[in-house]
Amino acid sequence: MDIVKANLAYHAGMTLEEFLEKEIAEWRHSPQRRMTLAAKKYYAGEHDILARQRTVIGKDGKRTPVFNLPNNRLLDNQYGKLVDQKVNYLLAKKPSFQTEDKAYGKKIGLAFNNRFLRVLKRIGEDSLNGGVAWLQVYYNEQGGLAFKRIEPEEVLPFWADADHTELDAVCRVYGIEAYEGREKKIIEKVEFYNTEGVRRYQLVNEKLIPESSDSHFSFEKEGVKQGLNWTRIPFVAFKYNAKEISLLKRVKSLQDAINTIKSDFMNNMQEDARNTILVLVNYDGTNLGEFRYNLAQYGAVKVKTVEGAPGDLKTLQVEVNSENYKVILEILKQALIENGRGLDAKSDKMGNSPNQMNIQSMYSDLDLDANGMENEYQAAFEELLWFVNMHLANTGQGDFTGETVEVIFNRDILINENEAIGNCQKSEGVISQETIVANHPWTTDTAAELKRIKKEETEKQARVDDYSEAFNTGAGGNEE
């Protein structure tokens, strides 16, 4: 708790609670938290366009809302598509954990099971939306090591270094529903984690009210409950990039422009003769509001001749060129894909039968972004494996702190299967069978596939031996 202690020492006379109250108040309105909340809304389809109003210049020269004009609010959620694309590309398949110790490998597989993979995908969404996602390490009711995803807008971290690689403490602020009498309310809770344990508070009118202090976890030994603390903060940060920048920050203006151009096109298409600009000649009456109402109600207008001048009704129409909208929309979508470093699945490079070079070129931007994200995730898994190793050592399952683990993310990339299979066949005798099997597009588990191949070869050899034995026995019988 060096950083927190240093701050308390600098601000003489401040208690820990006073320090946290100031930090929480500042953090609530921080740019990163606001961007995180906005990104979660955009991912869920709650864009700024939904609050748009049609306005005109009023009598005072300022814009005034109007309600008699079409006001379409069309939403084309390209941002949500971009997030799903990146998450599924990098995290749809279960990561591989390679280690020389097979027993250790099995224990890692049990810790990072399919349930963990589901949590990891949600972590991927959080890190893209908020720039950084959070996973809490804890012990469940059965005494097993477990991992819980924490909403990124709930976590206020205190870093021990400028590069944000080592946590000094973590403050979690979250709300729970509770009844006060017959009224349901949201009660704000605060948990402060450091290496000395966890302190729990209730936040009322921006003031912290202490509730309890506990250890990180507890074990029951010989009927006695013992509290223990990790020597590290039981939170692991999964970053989208080193700067912890949200994906939305790169593409928000482009996403808003796409929504606006589509909504404007619909507005222009719907502005027919009953709500466009009308030119009246010798109109019977001067109340334009009444005229608009009658036009909308009856679809007819009365005009008359005044002093020999015939009455008339004309409209000023603006030609809506749909091609202009198509071109602008295409430019905006392409810019969003490029700035978001995504995959253009409708690219001309796909063609009828794209070769592997074309496919790799199409995935280049997505790959570059995934490389940075993978680098940050590997560092996060290194932190996570420390907790797994401590758990295994403390529960008598073995000391694996010296073992090295390589975390491999199996990316879900499109390939030309015919070309890949052909390359595998051509590699026979040049590289090992294991490498060929691992790179075959139909292989899901290399070790299991090699076992099947060995079993088939053994069975095939057994059939050959049986046939040879039967043939030799028969031939010998004929000689006799």
- pLDDT tens, position by position, 243-280: 999 999 999 999 999 999 999 999 888 876 555 666 76
Long-range contacts from 319-326, C-beta under 8 angstroms, 24+ separation? 320/265, 320/268, 320/269, 322/265, 325/261, 325/262, 325/264, 325/265
pLDDT of residue 299: 61
What integer is the mean pLDDT of 198-225? 88
pLDDT at position 479: 46
* Bridge partner residues of 64 (DSSP): 56
pLDDT at 296 over 90: no
Residue 66: per-residue pLDDT? 81
Whether the CB-CB separation of 149 and 117 falls below 8 Å is answered with: no
As a whole number of angstroms, the distance between CA 205 and CA 369 comes to: 42
pLDDT for the residue 330: 94
Q: Please give the Cα distance from 417 to 439 (Å, whole number).
A: 11
Q: Are 267 and 306 in contact (CB under 8 A)?
A: no
pLDDT at residue 445 above 80? no
Alpha helical stretches, state H, 299-401? 322-339, 356-362, 364-394
Q: Determine contact, residues 117/221, Cβ cutoff 8 Å.
A: no
User: Which whole number is the average pLDDT over 37-54?
Assistant: 95
H-state helical runs in 427-445: 433-439
Which position has the higher pLDDT, 432 or 232?
A: 232
Residue of 173 and 365 predicted with greater confidence: 173
Q: What is the pTM of this model?
A: 0.80
Contact indicator for 283, 300 with CB cutoff of 8 Å? no
Confidence of residue 181 (pLDDT cuts 50, 70, 90): confident
Residue 48: the pLDDT is: 95
Is the pLDDT assigned to residue 480 strictly greater than 70? Answer: no
For residues 135-152, give the mean pLDDT.
Answer: 92
- Reported as a single tens digit per residue, the pLDDT across 1-45 is 566 666 666 666 788 999 999 999 999 999 999 999 999 999 999
Most confident range, picked from 50-64, 300-314, 354-368, 399-413: 399-413
Confidence category of residue 411, pLDDT binned at 50, 70, 90: confident
In this model, does residue 182 exceed pLDDT 70?
Answer: yes
Q: Which residues are CB-neighbours of 47 under 8 A, at least 6 positions away?
A: 41, 75, 77, 255, 256, 259
pLDDT of amino acid 178: 87
Least confident of 72-86, 169-183, 244-258, 425-439: 425-439
Q: pLDDT tens digits, residue range 326-378?
A: 999 999 999 999 999 998 877 665 556 666 666 677 788 898 999 999 999 99
- Tokens at residue 61, please? 């020269």
> Which segments within 18-131 are labelled E, that is strand?
55-57, 63-65, 96-98
What is the overall mean pLDDT for the chain? 85
- Token couple for 231: 């020597």
89 vs 280, residue with greater confidence: 89
**pLDDT greater than 80 at residue 76:** yes
Mean pLDDT score, 302-316? 69
> Considering only CA atoms, which of 400, 419, 440, 296 is closest in space to residue 356?
419
**Confidence at residue 442, expressed as pLDDT on a 0 to 100 scale:** 72
